[in-house]
Structure 1
Amino acid sequence: MTTPQGSTQGPRIDILDQIRGFALFAIFIVNVFGLALADPANPTWLGSSIHTAVAIVFEDSARPLFAMMFGISLVLIYSRLHAKGTNPYPTLVRRLVILFFVGGLHGYFIWAGDILLMYASAGLVLLTCLRLPASWLLGLAFLFWLGYSTGIDLLNGYTSFQMDPEQWMKDALPKDQTYPTGVEYLLIEWSTMIDHLGYFFFGMYAYRSGIFSRALDDHDRKWRLAVVFLLVGLLGKAALYAGATNPLVAHLDDVYAFLVSLGLGLGLLLAGTSQKSISMFLIPFTAVGKLTFTHYLLQSVIFVSLFRESGRTFFNGMGIWDPPGYVFALFIGLLVFAAQLLASPLWLKYFYYGPLEWVWRIGTHMKWVPMIRKRS
């Protein structure tokens, strides 16, 4: 066990917001087809190409990237509270419990593709590991990524033994009882959470080991590494998407998907901390990254309000459009995110936090915080 390191990385907070903002964009682009219930029947050549490109570049890679950012945030908050002499655990538990309930409400009432409940569940598990040294966090990251997630895929693909933790949890429930609404949904989320634990641990390791404070060290070698991660990951995902059965590709979905996540994360870190003009590319994502909680839920509300049948409960059937094609769904998604990019810096000019970030902060710290910036 060790005391937290890396708490001096405060000046790097902008790059964290920028990567988080880009990760939100990547998740949204993957989600737009499900949010709109895009019609897969008879797609146009352009629609099919767009869907394929999004699947290869972002699908199964956006969530791990965001999971790494979530792990970084946990260690960052823990380190700051620890440095102030405050017990971090009550604050973090409140923060995660609020996220858990918001995610549950979002997934049950608005859209079934929620990720907040899964992230909150993972966070509650990760609290037990916040004092571990960086080497232990890295070991756990590889254990869950290669040993668990990839290991299950290899076992299921090459042996007669079939591992399905989600089904095991369902089978463990007594058959002669009626369970409250949402129990099966929770089991699915917890199974997904275990599958993602390695990515959270990689984020925790990245911050604890000081990667962000050393971003400028050996810059060229890190760029080459990011390019290798991206190329290998994208080629592997493309081969899997095409149905390749070569042993170097088959059943290694989690390996190639996460290599893309690592390549994107490292590339964004290097671009954002570069002294060259490439760093300007990430600046628009800074404000969005500060408002990810609000924007994530707003994206769902907008889409289920626009497209019939995509929402849950009272949102179902209230939209103005029937399920669209891939091109139209992506077009609306890009318009929505562009509006969020433009609105975010304007909002932060007058307010300290987004609406949900503000409520979350009050609930987390159990004290009132001002939201409106004072006019000078």
Structure 2
Amino acid sequence: MRGFAVMGILLLNIISFAMPRYAYADPTFYGGASGANWWAWAITFVLAEGKMRGLFTMLFGASTILIAERTLASPGSPARRHYARMISLLAIGMVHAYLIWSGDILVLYALCGGMVFLAWRWDTPRLIAVAALLLAAQLASGAMDYAAARQFEDLATAPGAPPAIREQWERYRSGVDQLRDSGAAEVEAFRGGWAQALPMRIAITSEAQRTALPATIPETIALMLLGMALYRSGFFSGTWPSRWYRGVLITGYGICLPLYLPLVRWIDARHFDPIALLLSEPLHLVLLRPGLALAHAALIIQVAVSGACRPLTRRLAAVGRLAFSNYLGTSLICTYLFCGYGLGWFGYLERWQLYPIVAALWLLMLLWSPLWLARFAHGPFEWLWRSLSQRRIQPLRRRHPL
């Protein structure tokens, strides 16, 4: 399941690797939004946007309990081990974000991981209740932001609106306008050499960590807590009754998936208006994303438990065991492909043209991961993380290669 999630994350991350950052939210801004490009946006938005990251976040929460329980069986302290891991993850994430790719998620995971550890002993109902409250708060906040922005727009654009209100409205809209206007500067910077790209990457990362990162903390904590609850209930280990998994599949694919159709139509009809996105984001974050993400998970679990597609599931398991290396490895490969200090493809490809590259990288993950694990006990970046968190060099090679 972790292998499936880390591969699926690339469907969205590829946009940020290849195009100016606002293209992630608005395909009309860059990369094309008609024909094959529109379908590329719509399909990834419905099936993958937020779902793969959400699933990966839930698994991160589940692994928090798993590692803590294993540590209890040894002389070590679960808290000391966990926080050593989170501090090391934070350090790696900061290097990744500022020097390699500004779309890093490791810093967010390290910060939220430090907070959710306080809940690792909670029972399942409490975990679910707190997760639900956090998600409901996100939905309420988004709805209020949307209503306030629409009211502000109506006041500022009404005939005879006071000049002061119009001026405040212009300042409000200038944030998005500045983001759009920075597209040309991003293209120029990332098509240049390392020294030219680095200041732009630092500026984007610094801004994201000041604004976007705090806004995503409640959602991330909620999904980690939900992952903990699902782990405790046996969902991830495949021990639920088959009818329960079928219920998750029906909810996700039979209810949540069709409800995306009017949402996609509304966003498209509003021409990806930033105010419309204030509402669409929490709507699918809270009401639709979790159900579809869990349906993806239930499908993977059912396939694995049934023994079907064993060659593929074995390779997916290997990708999942090397999830950290595959995540950081795609950053290294993609920045080489798209930045000027590599092949310099940044901003040249249309949206749909990015997905053959994704398919090639998926194939690479499925091929190299089992080959690496046949000789080595850990992935290269898993080994680095483990060595940093334990403050000593860990063995890398297997004593007896498979």
Query: Is the TM value for this pair above 0.5?
Result: yes
Equivalent residue number for residue 236 of structure 1: 259
Equivalent residue number for residue 151 of structure 1: 140
Equivalent residue number for residue 189 of structure 2: none
Q: Is the 8 Å Cα contact of residues 43 and 325 (structure 1) preserved in structure 2? A: no
Equivalent residue number for residue 366 of structure 2: 341
Q: Which amino acid aligns with 1:156?
A: D
Q: 1:37 to 1:367 in 2, by over 3 A?
A: same
Deviation at 1:338, TM superposition (A): 0.6
Equivalent residue number for residue 192 of structure 1: 216
Structure number with the higher helix fraction is 2
Deviation at 1:281, TM superposition (A): 4.5
Equivalent residue number for residue 198 of structure 2: none
Equivalent residue number for residue 352 of structure 1: 377
User: Given the alignment of the two structures, is residue 373 of structure 1 paired with residue 398 of structure 2, yes or no?
Assistant: yes
User: Given the alignment of the two structures, is residue 258 of structure 1 paired with residue 278 of structure 2, yes or no?
Assistant: no
CA distance in 2, matches of 1:120, 1:198: 15
Specify which of 219, 223, 231 is matched with residue 246 of structure 2.
223
CA distance in 1, matches of 2:246, 2:311: 17
Equivalent residue number for residue 130 of structure 1: 120
Q: 1:186 to 1:34 in 2, by over 3 A?
A: closer
User: Given the alignment of the two structures, is residue 23 of structure 1 paired with residue 5 of structure 2, yes or no?
Assistant: yes
Specify which of 19, 31, 43 is matched with residue 37 of structure 1.
19
CA distance in 2, matches of 1:64, 1:192: 12
CA distance in 2, matches of 1:186, 1:44: 32
Normalising by structure 2, report the TM-score: 0.75
Larger Rg, first or second structure (1 or 2): 2
Matches within 5 A, 1:249-328: 252-254=283-285, 255-274=287-306, 276-277=307-308, 281-308=312-339, 318-323=342-347, 324-328=349-353
Q: Which amino acid aligns with 1:218?
A: P
Q: Is the 8 Å Cα contact of residues 272 and 280 (structure 1) preserved in structure 2? A: no
Q: 1:81 to 1:138 in 2, by over 3 A?
A: same
Q: 1:331 to 1:75 in 2, by over 3 A?
A: same
User: Given the alignment of the two structures, is residue 93 of structure 1 paired with residue 116 of structure 2, yes or no?
Assistant: no
> What is the aligned-residue identity percentage?
25
Q: Specify every segment of 5 or more residues in structure 2 that has no aligned partner in the other structure, as ranges.
A: 24-29, 152-171, 173-201, 270-278
Q: Specify every segment of 5 or more residues in structure 1 that has no aligned partner in the other structure, as ranges.
A: 1-18, 168-179, 309-315
Q: Is the 8 Å Cα contact of residues 248 and 291 (structure 2) preserved in structure 1? A: no
CA distance in 1, matches of 2:82, 2:244: 36
Q: Any idea what the Cα deviations from partners look like across 1:323-348, whole Å, max 9, x if unmatched?
A: 21123211112101211110110111
Normalising by structure 1, report the TM-score: 0.80
Q: Is the 8 Å Cα contact of residues 216 and 273 (structure 1) preserved in structure 2? A: no
CA distance in 2, matches of 1:121, 1:190: 10
Q: Is the 8 Å Cα contact of residues 24 and 66 (structure 1) preserved in structure 2? A: yes
CA distance in 1, matches of 2:240, 2:61: 23
Deviation at 1:216, TM superposition (A): 4.2
Deviation at 1:317, TM superposition (A): 5.3
CA distance in 1, matches of 2:72, 2:150: 45
Q: Which amino acid aligns with 2:40?
A: I
Structure 1 residue matching 2:266: 3-state secondary structure: coil
CA distance in 1, matches of 2:16, 2:310: 32
CA distance in 1, matches of 2:49, 2:208: 21
Q: Which amino acid aligns with 1:193?
A: I
- Give the RMSD, CA atoms, in angstroms: 2.7
Q: 1:157 to 1:232 in 2, by over 3 A?
A: farther
